[in-house]
Structure 1
Amino acid sequence: MDLASLLLLFLSSLCCSCCFGAAPPNFVLVFADDLGFGDLGCYGHPTSLTPNLDRLAAGGLRFTDFYCTSPVCSPSRAALLTGRYQTRSGIYPGVLYPGSIGGLPLNETTIAEVLKPLGYATAAVGKWHLGFGANGKFLPTKQGFDQYMGIPYSHDMGPCQNLTCFPPDVKCFGLCDVGAVTVPLMYNDVIKQQPVDFLDLENKYSDFATNFITTSAKKNQPFFLYYPSHHTHYPQYAGPGAAGKSLRGPFGDALLEFDNTIGNILTALEKTGVINNTLVFFTSDNGPELMRMSRGGNAGPLKCGKGTTYEGGMREPAIAYWPGTIKPGVTHELASTLDILPTISTLAGAKLPQVMLDGVEMTEILVQQGKSKRETMMFYPTDPSERFGLFALRLGKYKAHYYTRGASHSSTTPDKDCEIFAVLKAHDPPLLFDLELDPSENYPLSLEGKPDLQALLERMKRVKQQFEASMVFGQSQISKGIDRNLEPCCNPQCTPKPSCCRC
């Protein structure tokens, strides 16, 4: 039997472990918010205090070439949970708001819905940001999750200037959305607190997550925990356990508090004896919000950040941790948030959704530190359209920019390509970069006298055309508009809104 056949046999036994009487694997998926490629100590930041994430990186597989699908929140989350580019599900342009009429369509299949038929317990805790809708129709409990605790959108989508972000009574930095209802904390589809208490929020999340793990383990029930954190999105916050404890100020304190929760999750996995049967996967939704300067995160050596299709906007830290199954190391293989759903499906022995998927399973990368099945990565802007198509495409180690544009989220940096005044610019021929030699995208490759690069661009053009021909844009959910009456309010009949929405 050749090596490929042996590997296939091994993966089949691993992914259908329940067929042999072994317990099916558990999954913990951690999704950071606005975290840059250079924000973690294990990715090179000199003053970040993240001992638990560093532990994951030291004991797991750290990715250097891992991508989200959008440089902003909602579309990136849609792609993560469905394994499909956000253009297919209609989560574009931009992001969803408290009063958005649309949301992730209920006919889209999430990771939770893939696992439910196999008897998995499923829970989400933290930032949903895929719609609230009339009577909470788009909440996680309508998308395959048994339980949910969290804020259904971004925690800056509400007036925050009078709220306390750090003890003893340090007010939130900035103004946030003054005209919206105060930010609610929900349990399933019920508002438990409005406005949310930022100082105690992470404690609640940590308790919820660890209780879910403990309860599931006691029942011998396989589980899927999805933890999309609010840290380190603006405005940063942290309770007494982390405030003032880092060297990076408010951003570092928020990152430390986030890391503490990850540590509590790992402890719960250890105490319940399931850590060796659990895949913990960590990554982020998009790059850092550089417009906040030192409070906005760090892209490391990468160009620009949130809102852009440069590397800093969409290349993310990512770590896969599974003691006894995933060997410690570093992989330079190409991978994406799109690949998480098919990978979890393979490992659990679940059926894939009968729709066009953009993800590929990456068990060979995880288990064997082998080659990726992914050859390409597509880069859509925050406002994708059929008229412009892809802004950029990566094939192997090369990336071609067909359009470039700055963004308000990445303004304030010395690089003029990043700021909002860097207007849309078409490139024909496209700007071509070798990302292994030049991950900062500083030096476009010259095509003159290089027929090999010219042939490469022709191949990339064909790949781009083939992909765009296969892309069917779903109805834009965000373009359905906003109805302020849909904003979550714990006293729905009260007046005057939004100030009366308090409980």
Structure 2
Amino acid sequence: MDNIGFLFLNTFLFCTCLASPPNFVLLFADDLGFGDLGCYGHPSSLTPNLDRLAAGGLRFTDFYCTSPVCSPSRASLLTGRYQTRSGIYPGVLYPGSRGGLPLNETTIAEVLKPMGYATAAIGKWHLGVGANGMFLPTRQGFDQYLGIPYSHDMGPCWNLTCFPPDVKCFGLCDVGTVTVPLMHNEVIKQQPVSFLDLERAYSDFATNFITTSAKKKQPFFLYYPSHHTHYPQYAGQGAAGRTLRGPFGDALFEFDNTIGNLLTTLEKTGVTNNTLVFFTSDNGPELMRLSRGGNAGPLKCGKGTTYEGGMREPAIAFWPGTIRPGVTHEMASTLDILPTIASLAGAKLPQVMLDGVDMTEILVNQGKSKRETMVFYPTDPDEKYGLFALRLGKYKAHFYTRGATHSGTTPDQDCPVFAVLKAHDPPLIFDLEADPSEHYPLPLTGKPDLQALLERIKKVKEQFEASMVFGESQISKGTDPDLEPCCNPQCSPKPSCCKC
């Protein structure tokens, strides 16, 4: 079949499948680097199900998150808006944070609810709990939630040493911190959570949700932001010790097993060909953790930085019969997921300034992206500094560079926290197609074409920053120990009595 014939057939199948609204499964890894999957070049990762998604779907080479740390990246994914607009900055939210994702922000779940979708979230929320659970997923458009509402390392000892399967605990614990809770909707089901059983609970919950929705012939949206592969890694009995990569590889393998269970359930319920499965990650690898921190592949630095390793992510779109297997070099972002899902579901977009664009043309026809620009904010955005970097086409300009604690231990001296803030005027410009590692800034002297490019970049930056209205910082509202989730809120003494 020639290309014209294939495109005609693909468009026909696409229109046919949309006779009933498509389902959506959104998989979001944690601290997974660009080079951590076998299908992206890692020699020893064991991820048969993600490899299957990549072989049968569309793999992105130029896909970006919006922040090199957790909470702001998740806010952008769910709202299609940079975190600076929603106020999820600087840094991340904590168990007792007063703030959270503002309720006037519209999530993907809230876009789909008016269309009759069943919606569920499992895993790491990390967008706030708040007084009386006001920021939990069930207040943001999700019918059901099972998970830990923040990062799984935010417990006693920061959970850095006493973790399964090696549960010996050394050193002094942070006795002022509650143990990590497992929540079902807005109720604490278990505290502290059993990490050895957690992934099985997630898998069962998700497969039941898919099965129930399919039986009802109700379209569904499942959002699974995993705790894997954030440090410290854990793995249950079916995955611990099973890979060549140690705890990191075991955690990734456990996540991959759940993805396999979800794919099997889609097949058993007969909805595979009417379901878009999209996989990506929240930010780059935490290189300070050495072999347990992940891998950015050829990209520079990792988590916490605005270099490519901090914000360029693996991404796979899988939809048999609609998405043709292959690789796309088109630029896209987590920002684009909300408008794409809205378009595919025939749902209305929120009446706010969106930063995302519809990716349907890339997915269905492997066509051109509507995205020409990607901007890079640091972990602590500030109107005084504005953007740290901007990508226009294949070129990326760094106006400021800075290392991060998360990216320590690497031989590259630009990555660790000791690489202090530097302003660049003119900015450092890299050709990311020729130099994705950002090693060789382009010389501007005597290069009129690059001078013209620089002027274009400056103009785009000026226009974007003029459109950016910073929302009130939710994280700057501080924390209150009384807001830390406790399954026995009237007990004493806290937090040691918060057990159930």
Partner SS, residue 237 of structure 2 = coil
State the alpha-carbon separation in 2 of the partners of residues 11 and 56 from structure 1: 21
- Is 1:258 matched up with 2:216? no
1:138 to 122, 129, 135: 135
Q: Kindly provide the CA deviation profile for residues 227-282 of structure 1, in whole angstroms up to 9, marking residues without a partner as x.
A: 00000001100001000000000000000000000000000000000000000000
Change (3 A) 1:37 1:171: farther
Map of 1:126 onto structure 2? 123
Q: 2:213 aligns with which of 212, 216, 233?
A: 216
Contact 2:120 2:143 in 1 (8 A): yes
Q: Secondary structure at the match of 1:64?
A: strand
Structure 1: 4+ residue segments shifted above 6 A: 7-13, 172-176
Alpha-carbon separation, structure 2, partners of 1:66 and 1:172: 39
Identity %: 85
The verdict on how the C-alpha distance between 1:484 and 1:11 changes in structure 2, with shifts beyond 3 A counting, is farther
Contact in 2 for aligned 1:165/1:238 (Cα 8 Å): no
Tell me, yes or no, if the aligned pair for 1:61 and 1:327 is still in contact at 8 Å.
yes
SS in 2 for 1:65: strand
Deviation at 1:180, TM superposition (A): 1.4
In structure 2, C-alpha distance between the alignment counterparts of 1:174 and 1:24, rounded to whole Å: 54
Partner Cα distance (2:305, 2:171) in 1:
23
Pair 1:406 & 2:403 matched: yes
Equivalent residue in structure 2 for 1:418, among 415, 419, 444: 415
Residues 13 and 252 of structure 1: CA distance in aligned 2, closer, same or farther (over 3 Å): closer
**Contact 2:13/2:322 (CA < 8 Å) preserved in 1?**
no
Counterpart pick for 1:195 among 192, 195, 206: 192
Of 176-185 and 24-33, more deviation after overlay is shown by 176-185
Q: Structure 1 residue 27 and structure 2 residue 14: aligned? A: no
User: Aligned in 2, Cα 1:378/1:288: closer, same or farther, shift over 3 Å?
Assistant: same
Contact 2:10-2:364 within 8 A present in 1 as well: no
Aligned in 2, Cα 1:407/1:41: closer, same or farther, shift over 3 Å?
A: same
Residue 42 (str. 1) matches residue 30 (str. 2): no
- Aligned letter for 2:365? Q
Partner residue of 2:108? Answer: 111
Structure 2 residue runs without a partner (length 5+): none
Following TM superposition, by how much is the alpha carbon of 1:165 offset from its aligned partner in structure 2, in angstroms?
Answer: 3.3
How far off its partner does 1:179 sit?
2.9
SS in 2 for 1:145: coil
Question: Aligned partners of 1:406, 1:352: CA distance in 2, in Å?
Answer: 37
Residue number among 271, 279, 284 corresponding to 2:281 in the alignment: 284
1:445 maps to amino acid? L
So what's the TM-score if we normalise by structure 1? Answer: 0.96
Deviation at 1:172, TM superposition (A): 7.1
- Alignment pair present for 1:59 and 2:56: yes
- Summarize the alignment of residues 360-399 of structure 1 with structure 2, pairs less than 5 Å apart: 360-399=357-396
Q: CA deviation at 1:170?
A: 3.5
1:131-169: CA deviations, max 9, x gaps?
Answer: 0000100000000000000000000011155986334x5
Q: 1:283 aligns to what SS in structure 2?
A: strand
RMSD: 2.0
Match of 1:241 in 2: 238
Give distance in 2, aligned partners of 1:314 and 1:95.
16
Of 307, 311, 322, which aligns to 1:325?
322
The answer on whether the counterparts of 1:158 and 1:179 sit within 8 Å (CA) in structure 2 is no
In the alignment, is the contact (CA less than 8 A) between 1:165 and 1:199 conserved in 2? no
The structure-2 alpha-carbon separation of the partners of 1:174 and 1:204, relative to structure 1 and needing over 3 Å to count, comes to farther
**CA pair 70-135 structure 1, distance change in 2 beyond 3 A:** same
| One-letter amino acid matched to 1:460 | I
Contact 1:172 1:236 in 2 (8 A): no
The TM-score with structure 2 as length reference comes to 0.96
Distance 1:53 1:469 in 2: 40
2:303 alignment partner, one of 289, 296, 306: 306
Name the CA shift for 1:70/1:158 in 2 (closer, same or farther; >3 Å): same
Instruction: Find the residue that maps to 1:282 and give its secondary structure.
Output: strand
- Preserved CA contact (<8 Å) 1:158 1:178: no
**Pick aligned residue for 1:166 from 164, 167, 182:** 164
Give the match for residue 472 of structure 1.
469
Distance in structure 2 (CA, Å) of the matches to 1:198 and 1:50: 20
- Partner Cα separation in structure 2 for residue 334 and residue 162 of structure 1: 36
CA distance in 2, matches of 1:59, 1:414: 37
The AA in structure 1 aligned to 2:41 is: G
CA distance in 2, matches of 1:132, 1:418: 32
Aligned residues: 496
Q: Does 1:442 align with 2:439?
A: yes
Once the two structures are overlaid, the 10-residue window that deviates more, 491-500 or 424-433, is 491-500
Question: Which segment is superposed worse, 172-181 or 92-101?
Answer: 172-181
Q: Deviations over 1:36-58 (max 9, x none)?
A: 00000000000000000000000
Q: Which residue of 2 aligns with 1:493?
A: 490
Per the alignment, do residues 15 and 185 of structure 1 end up closer, same or farther by CA in structure 2, a change over 3 Å counting?
farther
Is the 1:158–1:176 contact (alpha carbons within 8 Å) kept by the matching residues of 2? no
Distance in 1 between residues matched to 2:291 and 2:168, nearest whole Å? 18
CA gap 1:177/1:104 in 2 versus in 1, 3 angstroms? farther
Deviation, 1:395, is 0.2
Pick closer, same or farther for the CA change 1:144–1:15 going to 2, 3 Å: farther
CA contact (8 A) 1:16 1:349 kept: no
